Amino acid sequence: MRYIVSHRTSYRYAATVDLAQHIAHLRPRAFPGQAVTDCTLLVDPPPNAHALHTDHFGNLVDSFRIDQAHTVLIIEMRSHVDVALPIPPDPDTTPPWETVAATLASAFPASVTAAEFTHPSPLVMIGPEAAAYALPSFPAGRPILAGAVDLIHRIRTDFTYTPGATDVSTPLDEVFARRLGVCQDFAHVGIAALRALGLAAGYVSGYIRTYPRAGGAELRGADASHAWIAVWCGPEAGWVHLDPTNDLIARDEHVIVAWGRDFSDVSPVRGMILGGGAHHYGVNVELRPMQAAPAD
């Protein structure tokens, strides 16, 4: 599926910002299963310095500095993306979850990269509530992907999607206790549960195509960045992307921007400013299928 993607972020400050330094994870990344044919980042006011680099996880990161005084900042990413994530294996044919956990915990793990995603991270502390929540989905000997699919189904059922109920500073144990949140929270819940069992799980940021399904509700995640998880299912199956907010396996309706240990690794825009005072923040995201060229 080919998409035209745009992500527009605006900041309106009560007082003048005299100096600003920002970093942005907004450019979709290219990898097997996703091709980016065009991408631009527009910043107003124009930066005095701007650099593009690749971070530890392979994500594209824009870093820019604005020296001129301003009360409004607009950052807009536009890109063309072709998505076709591989079809995952039958969940029941994947290895037992204990086998995968043992591989990751070995002195020389089969996948050093995957093993990095088994540990606590700044926004995903692994507590007893995470392990207790995970266990019903992972009885002894259950295939790992079957357990992970069951886990995201339970998150979709047990937690209520409530915009505004949480923010990035809300502790994960509070999300577990209140059973409220948004896609970022549900991804963190799933990651914590999987890591509590010694499994590798990463946080994925991006966008989802949302439209009403016949006989079903519109998918959640239309107006801003979406988030889901990737679970490592062993050397043969590799990483499989699962969306707990919508209880589905990601295929061709999810555009991947960046991945990391949790939201703190892939925040769309963050930075430091001198001045500004109070501010209003707005985000507008559009993910539109690209029309095929007419035949000659």
- Same domain for 113 and 253? yes
Nearest to 62 by CA among 43, 82, 37, 81: 43
Q: Could you tell me if residue 64 is inside a domain? A: yes
Which pLDDT value is given to residue 225?
A: 85
Q: Is the pLDDT of residue 296 over 50?
A: no
- What integer pLDDT is reported at residue 261 of this predicted model? 98
pLDDT > 70 in the chain, percent: 94
User: Which residues share a beta bridge with 280?
Assistant: 12
CB 142, CB 96: distance < 8 Å: yes
Alpha carbon 45 to its chain's center:
28
In a domain, 193, yes or no: yes
pLDDT number for residue 220: 52
> Do 41 and 18 belong together in one domain?
yes
Distance CA 259, CA 3 (A): 20
Whether 13 and 159 share a structural domain: no
pLDDT in tens, 52-61: 999 999 999 9
Q: Is residue 294's pLDDT more than 50?
A: no
Both 271 and 237 in a single domain?
A: no
How confident is the model at residue 210, as a pLDDT?
Answer: 72
Residue-by-residue DSSP string for 26-67: -SPPPBTTEEEEEEEEEEESPPSEEEEEE-TTS-EEEEEEE-
Q: Does a structural domain hold residue 109?
A: yes
66 lies in the same domain as 180: no
Taking 60 as the threshold, does the pLDDT of residue 277 lie above it?
yes
Q: Are residues 233 and 100 in the same domain?
A: yes
Average pLDDT over residues 174-195: 96
Q: Is the pLDDT of residue 168 over 90?
A: no
Query: Higher-confidence residue: 146 or 106?
Result: 146
Q: What is the DSSP letter of 210?
A: -
* Residue 55, domain extent: 2-82+267-289
pLDDT given for residue 224 in this prediction: 65
The residues near 108 (Cβ < 8 Å, ≥ 6 apart) are none
Looking up residue 12, the CATH number of its domain turns out to be 2.60.40.2250
Q: Does residue 294 belong to any structural domain of this protein?
A: no
Alpha-carbon gap, residue 286 to 78, rounded angstroms: 10
Give me the chain's average pLDDT, please: 92
Residue 24 lies in a domain: yes
Q: At 12, phi and psi to the nearest 5?
A: -125, 120
**Residues 11, 110 within the same domain:** no
Residue found under tokens 């921007």: 257
Query: Looking at the structure, do residues 226 and 105 belong to the same domain, yes or no?
Result: yes
Instruction: Report whether pLDDT(177) > 80.
Output: yes
Position 222 scores a pLDDT of 47
Question: How many domains does one find in the chain?
Answer: 2
Percent of the chain scoring above 90 in pLDDT: 84
Asked whether residue 36 falls in the same domain as residue 118, the answer is no
- Residue 120 within any structural domain of the chain: yes
Contacts of 258 (CB under 8 A, 6+ apart): 25, 29, 57, 59, 60, 204, 205, 206, 265, 266
**Average pLDDT rounded to a whole number, residues 71-92:** 95
Cα–Cα distance measured from residue 74 to residue 86, given in angstroms and rounded to the nearest whole number: 35
Please report, for residues 88, 144, 200, 230, 269, the alpha-carbon distance to residue 220 in angstroms, rounded to integers and kept in the order given.
22, 26, 25, 18, 22
Assign residue 221 the CATH number of its domain. Answer: 3.10.620.30
User: Which residue, 46, 27, 22, is CA-closest to 37?
Assistant: 27
Q: Do residue 254 and residue 278 come from a single domain?
A: no
Shared-domain flag, residues 224 and 119? yes
Q: What is the pLDDT of residues 206-264, one digit of tens each?
A: 999 876 445 445 555 545 689 999 999 999 999 999 999 999 999 899 999 999 999 99
Q: What is the dihedral of CA 110, 116, 117, 121, to 10 degrees?
A: 160
- Confidence band, pLDDT 50/70/90 cuts, at residue 292: low
Are residues 109 and 255 located together in one domain of the fold? yes
pLDDT-wise least confident of 80-84, 139-143, 210-214:
210-214
Q: What is the DSSP letter of 142?
A: -
Is residue 145 predicted with pLDDT exceeding 60?
A: yes
Q: Is 295 a domain residue?
A: no
Average pLDDT over residues 74-90: 95
First-last CA distance in the chain: 21
**How far apart are the C-alpha atoms of 37 and 27, rounded to whole Å?**
11
Query: Positive or negative, the Cα torsion across 77, 238, 85, 148?
Result: negative
Q: State the pLDDT at residue 295.
A: 46
Q: Is the pLDDT of residue 194 over 50?
A: yes
Is 296 among the domain residues? Answer: no
